[in-house]
Structure 1
Amino acid sequence: MEIPAGMDDALSSLRTTTKGDRILSRAPGRVEVLGNHTDYNGGMVLAATIDNFVWSLGVPSNDVRLYSMDYDQSIVFNKTDIQRMNSLSWETYARGIYWAMRRRKRNVKGVTAVIYGNVPQESGLSSSAALEVSLVNLILEASGLKIPQKAKAMLAYEAERLFCGVSCGIMDQFTSQLGKPNTLLSINCGNMVTRDVDFSPNLRLVTIDSKVSRPAKAALNERRKECQVALKQLRAAGWDIGKISDINPAYLDQISDTLEPLLEKRVRHVVNENIRVKEGITALRSDDYKRFGQLMYESHQSSKNLYEVSHPRLDLLVEIASEKKGVIGSRLTGAGLGGSVLVIVDEQKAAMVADDILQDYQKESGIESKARISSIPGGVLVERV
């Protein structure tokens, strides 16, 4: 595993000032391929890692001493006395990891570490989960603790969900921890069963930033609350439902009589999106990429019209992408209301298609953006350097 440019000085400094091996933990961002807002509703998701990462380089220590190269900020705190913060920042996520470790009675050491990342923030590519997973693995390795992979992902998830207060599901952390190269990760978020789904090596994942930023916390918390209210109303009306994703699509019309129109739309999206993920997995295993692309477009329209987490600029990008040769499919990815769209495209045409989309987007919106062409690198890596 290569150390990114810029961390060389940090490694040299640690070698000069500390003894023993230095630990390098690299965790990727992720792109949601299918399954918009299904994870916290106990449904199915399909996700992939991307070629953007957060690196944590450190050594064991008594207290926690972290320096973020991205923010040029240092923090120091006691690993057993974790104070909650009012703001949501990289420091909050870092504190949340130690809070989750303590909550799960993991007897871990402090670390002195330098953190660097190139996962775009507020772009729907899960920079926060990459940070969390990178730190979880660094801390556990520094402490000599071996625990199951899903347990590591759950520590990262609990830091964000319970300490930071973001109403996320498990998709982001599970993908960053468990993803494999050239493979999509299918996650049943109701029972945490994961499966690998082969993905053509001749395709690339292109993410394009709409340059519309909205923190994920607001969007996730609002939609999650709506789904909780809908579930409560359905149960009060006599429906025996464990979670929204359990609803049989055949009963959607009957359920609509119980719910107000807005909540009915939210439920309809989740139920049908869950079905789309299952159909998408079937399509991929049959090498039916045409059908998979159709499901991506259907997912975007549902996110736009029923779950209402799209944005006119996201819609514009998807429309532009749909007209390009070599494109399999496109949709918004992540919490929505801004952030990025995903375009799956033939490897040989990826660079040309990305440039064409950016040019058309700038022409139509006046916004200059960036595209990232990614393979699927796999999940977190940890090495001693």
Structure 2
Amino acid sequence: MDIPKGMLSSLQELVGSHGVQPVLSRAPGRIEVLGNHTDYNGGVVLAATIDRFVWALGILSDEVRIHSIDYDDTFSFSPQDIPKFKVTSWTEYAKGIYWALNRRKHNPSGMTAVVKGDVPQGSGLSSSAAFEVALTNLVSELNSLNLPPKAAAMIAFEAERVYCMVSCGVMDQFTSQLGQPNSLIGINCQNLQVRHVNIHDDIKFVVVDSMISRAAGDALNQRRHECQQALRILNEAGWNIGTLSDIDSSRIDDLDDVLEEKLSQRVEHVVRENLRVRKGIEAIQHNDLEEFGSIMFRSHISSRNLYEVSHPNLDMLVDMATRHEGVLGARMTGAGFGGAILCMVKSKNVTNFVSYIQKRYESETGKAAFVLECDIPGGVQLQKM
């Protein structure tokens, strides 16, 4: 496992000559392949790791002291006395990890660490989850906690969802932790069961970033609130469901009898998106790539029309992608309101597609789209240096 240039020297600057072998943790970002906004509704998702990472290199120490090479910023705190959450930032995510570990009575010692990442931020590729998973596994290794993979993913999730109060589901952390090379990962976000589905060499996933930064935290929280509101109303009407994902698709037509139009649309998206994930897994397993691509397109339309989390530039990119002969499917990926789309492209057409989409998008918007051809490396890795 390669270590980014400057990490070892940065750690040495923090701790001096220590004679202790540091541990390197590397966690990947992820692409959401199918399952838009289903994870926090108890549904199923299909995702994959990408070959963009967050690295964390550290040794044990009394206090927690972490230096970010990317931000050129250092902060410290006591591992036993976690300050209250202030505002969402990389420093708060780190505090959240120790908070979650202490909450589960692991009570780890401090560490001195340096972190660095190349996961694009604000693009829906889960740079925050990669950071959380990298740090969680580093702390676990340094303290010999021997956390099982799912337990480590849950610590990383609780750092963001509970401590930092970000409206996220478990998909991001579970994918970064549990992903496997050259495979998609299917996650049931209600019972946390995981399955891996091999993908084929003749396709490649390509991320196209609109360069529209997501600035819609309130809107995302509103979507979650709407889903909770719909769940409450349906149960008051006698539906007796634990999550929106418990609703059978045969009852979609009954939603309008109970819910106002907006809430009905939100629920319909969740129910149908869960179906799309399951059908997508079947299509990949049977090498029916055209069907899988069609499911991707339908997912985008639902996210745009029913869940209303797309953006005009994302819609433009998907429309452009559909016009290229090498593209089998395209959809927005991540939370929405900006960020990126994900395209499934025939491997032989990738180079031509990248040139095409960059030229078309810049011609229409004046913005240079960032394009990432994704290899799928698998989940978090640890190595003594």
What is aligned with 2:318?
Answer: 318
Q: CA deviation at 1:224?
A: 0.8
What is aligned with 2:349?
Answer: 349
Query: RMSD of the alignment, in Å?
Result: 1.3
What is aligned with 2:254?
Answer: 254
- Identify which range, 301-310 or 366-375, moves more after superposition: 366-375
What is aligned with 2:149?
Answer: 149
- Tell me which amino acid in the other structure corresponds to 2:19: K
What is aligned with 1:97?
Answer: 97
1:27 aligned counterpart, secondary structure: strand
- Tell me which amino acid in the other structure corresponds to 1:342: L
What is aligned with 1:305?
Answer: 305
Q: Name the CA distance, whole Å, in 1 between partners of 2:217 and 2:190.
A: 21
What is aligned with 1:206?
Answer: 206
Q: Give yes or no for contact 2:14–2:112 (8 Å, CA) kept in 1.
A: no
Q: Name the CA distance, whole Å, in 2 between partners of 1:147 and 1:58.
A: 18
Q: Name the CA distance, whole Å, in 2 between partners of 1:123 and 1:302.
A: 20
Q: CA deviation at 1:101?
A: 0.5
Q: 1:243 to 1:151 in 2, by over 3 A?
A: same
Q: Name the CA distance, whole Å, in 2 between partners of 1:15 and 1:98.
A: 21
Q: CA deviation at 1:255?
A: 1.9
What is aligned with 2:224?
Answer: 224
Q: Name the CA distance, whole Å, in 1 between partners of 2:216 and 2:382.
A: 28
- Identify which range, 241-250 or 169-178, moves more after superposition: 241-250
**CA displacement, residues 362-382 of structure 1 (integer Å, 9 cap, x when unaligned):** 111121121011110100000
Percent of pairs identical after alignment? 52
Q: Give yes or no for contact 2:21–2:384 (8 Å, CA) kept in 1.
A: yes
What is aligned with 1:113?
Answer: 113
Matches within 5 A, 1:239-318: 239-318=239-318
What is aligned with 2:189?
Answer: 189
Q: Note if 1:163 corresponds to 2:163.
A: yes
**CA displacement, residues 318-344 of structure 1 (integer Å, 9 cap, x when unaligned):** 111111121121100000011110011
Q: Name the CA distance, whole Å, in 2 between partners of 1:214 and 1:374.
A: 21
What is aligned with 2:84?
Answer: 84
Q: CA deviation at 1:63?
A: 0.3
What is aligned with 1:68?
Answer: 68
Q: CA deviation at 1:302?
A: 0.1
Q: CA deviation at 1:84?
A: 2.1
Q: Calculate the TM-score normalised by the size of structure 1.
A: 0.98
What is aligned with 1:333?
Answer: 333
What is aligned with 1:134?
Answer: 134
Q: Name the CA distance, whole Å, in 2 between partners of 1:90 and 1:43.
A: 28
- Identify which range, 160-169 or 248-257, moves more after superposition: 248-257
Q: Give yes or no for contact 1:166–1:220 (8 Å, CA) kept in 2.
A: no
Q: Give yes or no for contact 1:351–1:373 (8 Å, CA) kept in 2.
A: no
Q: Note if 1:178 corresponds to 2:178.
A: yes
Q: Name the CA distance, whole Å, in 1 between partners of 2:216 and 2:20.
A: 39
Q: Give yes or no for contact 2:30–2:176 (8 Å, CA) kept in 1.
A: yes
- Tell me which amino acid in the other structure corresponds to 2:104: R
Q: Name the CA distance, whole Å, in 2 between partners of 1:344 and 1:218.
A: 31
Q: Give yes or no for contact 1:219–1:335 (8 Å, CA) kept in 2.
A: no
- Tell me which amino acid in the other structure corresponds to 2:278: K
Q: Name the CA distance, whole Å, in 2 between partners of 1:218 and 1:204.
A: 34
Q: CA deviation at 1:139?
A: 0.4
- Tell me which amino acid in the other structure corresponds to 1:141: E
What is aligned with 1:31?
Answer: 31
2:348 aligned counterpart, secondary structure: helix
Structure 2: tracts of 5 or more residues without a match: none
**CA displacement, residues 77-98 of structure 1 (integer Å, 9 cap, x when unaligned):** 0011111233110001011000
Q: 1:219 to 1:129 in 2, by over 3 A?
A: farther
Q: Calculate the TM-score normalised by the size of structure 2.
A: 0.98
1:17 aligned counterpart, secondary structure: coil
Q: Give yes or no for contact 2:79–2:110 (8 Å, CA) kept in 1.
A: yes
- Identify which range, 162-171 or 6-15, moves more after superposition: 6-15
What is aligned with 2:58?
Answer: 58
Q: Name the CA distance, whole Å, in 2 between partners of 1:15 and 1:90.
A: 21
**CA displacement, residues 247-278 of structure 1 (integer Å, 9 cap, x when unaligned):** 11111111221001110000000000000000
Q: CA deviation at 1:14?
A: 6.8
1:125 aligned counterpart, secondary structure: coil
2:83 aligned counterpart, secondary structure: coil
Q: Give yes or no for contact 1:318–1:331 (8 Å, CA) kept in 2.
A: yes
Q: Name the CA distance, whole Å, in 1 between partners of 2:13 and 2:333.
A: 39
**CA displacement, residues 131-159 of structure 1 (integer Å, 9 cap, x when unaligned):** 00000000000101102100000000000
